[in-house]
Amino acid sequence: MSESFIDKKDDTQAKNFAEAVGSYFQNGNKGNKVESFADLLDSYNSGMSEDVRIGDKVRGEVISIGMDTVFVNTGTKIDGAVDKAELVDENGELACNIGDTLELYIVSFSENEIRLSKALSGIGGLNILRDAFDNRVPVEGKIKEKCKGGFYVEMFQRRAFCPISQMDVRFVETPDDYVGEVHQFLITRFEENGKNIVVSRRELLERERKAAGKKFMENVAIDSVLEGKVSSIMPYGAFVELFPGIEGMVHVSEMSWSRVEKPDDILKKGDSVTVKVTGMEPGKAPGQLKISLSMKQVTGDPWESDEELFHAGDKVRGRVTKCASFGAFVEIAPGIEGLVHISEMSYKKRISKPEDVVQEGETVDVMIKEIDTEKRRISLSIKEAEGDPWIGVTEKYTVGQSVEGTIEKKEKFGYFITLEPGITGLLPKSKISKSHKPSLIERLKEGDPITITVEEIHPNNRKITLGPGDSEGGEDNWKKYTKGTRSSLGSLGEKLQQALDAKK
């Protein structure tokens, strides 16, 4: 049995009435509108409606908190009492204080007490269910078992049916998890004198969620930073759930200061993200709100940092983000990209397209050549980071020196000979014709080795002039070249070779 309202709480109404009576007799009727003690009593009783029914919703102020019961002003001569256990939060703490306003339902009443509850439950009866249906009052029920298309729910010793689509606001993947739980439901159909009762929990949850969402949106403004969860990913961006039923969208351009080609490269459904609200405007549907979000603006623009992260001449490592016909873009820090022009890609070989040197996603070393903060441009160089092979070339090569090289390209005016990666010399056609046996050199192909002599070095102009090597070297090269081809020449080739050897 619950504790007595009279025994366990201060009689606030009586106290207030006593103070009013005392004031009347002490001060008389000075300026008061009441004419007599009877008028005072009528004034006190005004607004105290005696017409109360089970199922009525009461909005009242908490006037006292007992050991197991919370007392509420019902607006009548009789105060209401609700079990404290109904008002505790998930941590077992009482979720209200004296002076707070609560919305409760009348579940029973007598001359001395009105019993209140957050929902109609525990007081069975067909009439109560009918009243709950008529007045759309939530009723507490226990989910007894699964059935085809939904669940059987017991309320007031009667069986009701809840369609599976009405059990939750989300898709019910594991119905067994709900069996045995107690929840509040709305009666959506009451037919055949209670033999056909259909209930919905979803409708009640959506009502609560809508109210909570409205309160949530009252505290959200432009530049608010919120936590959310990725609910879906599209080619143009990702939708983030900020609150149950409230979503915003992060465009792909607002996901990161780094280049993002596809949203699913960095996000997946269910990821928790921190976002900033960048825009709110009415949607196409009535009451709909379009919320624009940004992930990258949570951290701030890397170009607006107070610290100078990079300087011209720095050698750094970066990731190739994109290749174009004129060069490659390299990200050297999140959100900071620079361009390596095709002319800055290599000292060691001729480049016709950036992909000859780098590929998207590859990590490369670059040197910063120039920084333009206002235009947000950085010029980078791969070849400078690798080092200039022409530095110290006069120490590696001297005039008159005989060296081995590789024919890189044959032109009408001469042959380009690679001495080492990045250093190429020219063997002029005029010098080939003046050699002791020009035919031996002319028969060599691009990629064949050749012995040549360094004749001139011009490091400032990056030019080296070459001359033919000695006859022995030239013949050796020709022998190396023809060695692998004799078997394919057949008997005729062998005779030609014999004739050449006889002339020697």
* Rounded alpha-carbon distances, angstroms, from residue 305 to 332, 379, 409: 15, 19, 49
pLDDT on residue 473: 44
d(CA 346, CA 351): 7
Closest C-alpha to 144, from 134, 154, 158 = 154
* Residue 147, helix vs strand vs coil: strand
CB proximity list for 418: less than 8 A, separation 6 or greater: 405, 406, 407, 408, 424
Longest dimension (CA), the chain: 152
d(CA 287, CA 171): 24
> Residue 318 CB: number of other CB atoms within 10 A?
21
In a domain, 122, yes or no: no
Residues 18, 88 within the same domain:
yes
| E runs forming strands in 26-149 | 57-65, 69-72, 80-83, 101-109, 114-117, 139-147
Residue 282 CB-half CA count within 13 A:
4
In a domain, 187, yes or no: yes
In a domain, 233, yes or no: yes
For residues 254-283, one letter each, b for 16 or more C-beta atoms within 10 angstroms of the residue's C-beta and e for the rest, the string is bbbbbebeebeeebeeeeebebbbbeeeee
Alpha helices in 194-241 (DSSP H): 202-218
What's the alpha-carbon Rg for the chain, to the nearest Å? Answer: 45
Residues 382, 398 within the same domain:
no
Residues 198, 229 within the same domain:
no
pLDDT on residue 499: 64
Residues 99, 30 within the same domain:
yes
**CB 152 within 8 Å of CB 159:** yes
In a domain, 130, yes or no: no
**CB 210 within 8 Å of CB 245:** yes
Residues 25, 81 within the same domain:
yes
Residues 141, 109 within the same domain:
no
Residues 453, 469 within the same domain:
yes
d(CA 255, CA 250): 7
In a domain, 317, yes or no: yes
Structural domain including 273 reads 224-298
pLDDT on residue 31: 47
| DSSP β-ladder status, 150-155 and 196-200 | unpaired
d(CA 346, CA 343): 7
Query: Where a domain ends, among 177, 207, 237?
Result: 207
* Per-residue pLDDT in tens (0 to 9) along the chain, 504 residues: 333 333 333 444 455 555 544 554 555 554 444 445 445 445 444 444 456 776 778 889 999 998 889 999 988 888 899 888 878 887 788 889 999 999 888 877 777 788 888 776 544 467 778 878 888 888 888 999 999 999 999 887 788 999 999 998 878 888 999 999 988 899 999 988 788 999 999 988 888 777 777 778 888 888 889 999 998 899 999 999 888 778 889 999 888 888 888 898 889 988 999 999 998 887 676 666 788 999 988 887 777 764 567 888 888 888 898 898 899 999 888 888 889 999 888 877 778 889 888 898 888 888 888 888 888 889 998 888 877 788 778 888 999 999 999 998 899 899 999 898 888 899 999 888 887 778 788 888 888 999 899 999 998 888 999 998 764 444 555 454 444 444 444 455 556 666 666 655
Residues 148, 241 within the same domain:
no
| Span 169-198, pLDDT tens digits | 878 888 999 999 988 899 999 988 788 999
| DSSP β-ladder status, 114-117 and 80-83 | parallel
d(CA 343, CA 411): 22
Tell me the residue length of the chain: 504
CATH number, domain of 250, equals: 2.40.50.140
Residues 440, 373 within the same domain:
no
Q: How many structural domains is the chain composed of?
A: 5
Query: Where a domain ends, among 386, 415, 450?
Result: 386
In a domain, 369, yes or no: yes
Q: Which amino acid is at 76?
A: T
Q: Which residues pair with 329 in a beta bridge?
A: 322, 339
Residues 195, 284 within the same domain:
no
d(CA 223, CA 291): 12
Residues 438, 366 within the same domain:
no
**CB 257 within 8 Å of CB 296:** yes
Residues 369, 410 within the same domain:
no
**CB 316 within 8 Å of CB 366:** yes
d(CA 27, CA 22): 8
In a domain, 79, yes or no: yes
| Span 204-252, pLDDT tens digits | 888 877 777 777 888 888 888 999 999 889 999 999 988 877 888 999 9
Query: Where a domain ends, among 117, 150, 177?
Result: 117
In a domain, 156, yes or no: yes
pLDDT on residue 104: 87
> Residue 358 CB: number of other CB atoms within 10 A?
19
- pTM for the full model? 0.43
Structure tokens at 22: 């005392």
d(CA 294, CA 303): 17
